[in-house]
Structure 1
Amino acid sequence: MSDGFKIINLGLPKTGTTTLTRALRRARIRTVDWRIHRRQSADPELVGKHLGTVMYRDYFDHGDPLRRLGGFRGFNELSQAGLHYSIWPQTDWGLIDAIQRHHPDTRFLLNMRDPAATASSIMRWGNLGTLRLPNTNVPGLPKGYGSDESHLARWVLGHYMFCERVFAGADNFLAFDITDPDAPGKIGAFLGFELPWWGRANENKTAPAEPADPV
């Protein structure tokens, strides 16, 4: 694998994605998280766009989901959950396979957290669990489901099972529990560089009406 391999996180919201983003950035890995900000790109066609939107556009138009994202090495919080639409690249085997074919050195991470705890956090994070997930068609969570924490926990577990089945036996995939004290060492060994920071970012101390843009 090359030193410039891409790093794709397949994690779901509220499973420690912001912590992972901060850890990668502290390791000087140029990482994009959820939305492309003005300070991250001079391309007016990318600024303000959600990461998943860009990935899907380039996947369907050109085959390579990372075609216009060559300036980034790390990719985190791929999904976008709106009130009337949702896109979830981390659940799409066709898109994941396209990344592997166009960027064969890519390494994939899956940050995991107890499904029940994740469901509880989702339900308390603005209107993600009360409106956005139950009212849109999400892979593995069709419209009309998800307003109950047990639904969300089953969906979270299903995603973990999907990723582990897709990457069974692969050496370019690492699943880890975000609460595991050995997680930073495991990630560092997998990626080939030390993580100088590991903590708890974006903690849900309050329940804002809308989640702030991850940075």
Structure 2
Amino acid sequence: MSAVRVVNLGLPKSGTTTFNKALAASGWRVADHRIRPRQTADAALHGAFVGDLMYRGYFGSGDPLALFAGFDAISETSVMRRGVNFWPQTDFGLIEAARRHHPGLRFVATRRPTADICASMAGWSNMLDRLPHYAIPGLPQGYGRAEDERARWIEAHYAFLRRIFEGSEAYLELDVGAPDAAGRLSAHLGVEIGWWGRANAKRAAG
């Protein structure tokens, strides 16, 4: 049975690594992008992408969190590499299934200014080559290299989340650079956050 208490629905480069590090420093076991062997004794999960596991659960049993026993949080759901392409944070059906199966589940959408996310994507490894190569919800194949295309996609994603969670206390859009970010997250989750800062700030392109 899943013990996941919070799922981050933010896009890549929105502060997902900061979110991961903050919860890990607070004693939570966090699934971030891919499951590491040190995180679970279940060898079947070693190396599995978080997004893939969410869809396996969703289409296998209806519960996107069914395969996350032992984890407290999910910080990065998407993957886009070597033919693997999953974006659970954009999927209405999957999000609604998680809410239905786990009534007490909390959701966070880490956020930075759109221009900053765009710039981080441009400076992260070969992301600008990968974005146009894959068909991503809201960003079809062939789009995403231009900054204005990425900006339109980013803005639409957070508008989508605000719409489906409208009026719900289970959802927090979190500006990770705000002075009160740690306090807002702490209040949302009902726990003290043991660390807050800026993680994974930059990796050289290429």
Other structure's SS at 1:81 match: strand
> How do residues 1-215 of structure 1 correspond to structure 2 at under 5 angstroms?
6-129=5-128, 131-204=129-202, 206-209=203-206
CA distance in 1, matches of 2:174, 2:67: 29
Q: Distance in 2 between matches of 1:61 and 1:78?
A: 18
Number of residue pairs matched by the alignment: 204
Q: 1:90-147 CA deviation, whole Å, 9 max, x = no partner?
A: 0001001111111111000011111111111101101112x11111100000001101
- 1:19-63 CA-to-partner distances (Å, cap 9, x unmatched) read 010000111111110000000011121110000001101111111
Q: Quick one: distance in 1 between partners of 2:123 and 2:4?
A: 36
Percent of pairs with identical residues: 46
Alignment check: 8 A CA contact 2:4 2:71 kept: no
Question: d(CA) in 1 for partners of 2:186 and 2:60?
Answer: 35
- The answer as to whether partners of 2:4 and 2:73 remain within 8 angstroms in 1 is no
Counterparts in 2 of 1:126 and 1:133: CA distance versus 1, 3 Å: same
Residue 77 of structure 2 aligns to which amino acid in structure 1? L
**1:213 matched to which residue of 2?**
none
- Secondary structure of the equivalent of 2:45? coil
Distance 2:165 2:59 in 1: 23
Q: Which amino acid aligns with 2:171?
A: F
Would you say the 8 A contact 2:6–2:72 is kept in 1?
Answer: yes
* TM-score computed with the length of structure 1 as normaliser: 0.92
2:21 alignment partner AA: R
Query: Which amino acid counterpart does residue 18 of structure 1 have in structure 2?
Result: T
Q: Larger % of helix: which? A: 2
Partners in 2 of 1:70 and 1:106 — Cα distance? 14
TM-score calculated relative to the size of structure 2:
0.96
Which whole-Å CA distance do the structure 2 matches of 1:147 and 1:86 have between them? 17
CA contact 1:119–1:152 (8 Å) conserved in 2? yes
Distance in 1 (CA, whole Å) between partners of 2:168 and 2:10 is: 17
Distance apart, 1:84 and its partner CA: 3.4
State the one-letter code of the partner of 2:104.
Answer: D
Distance 2:157 2:66 in 1: 26
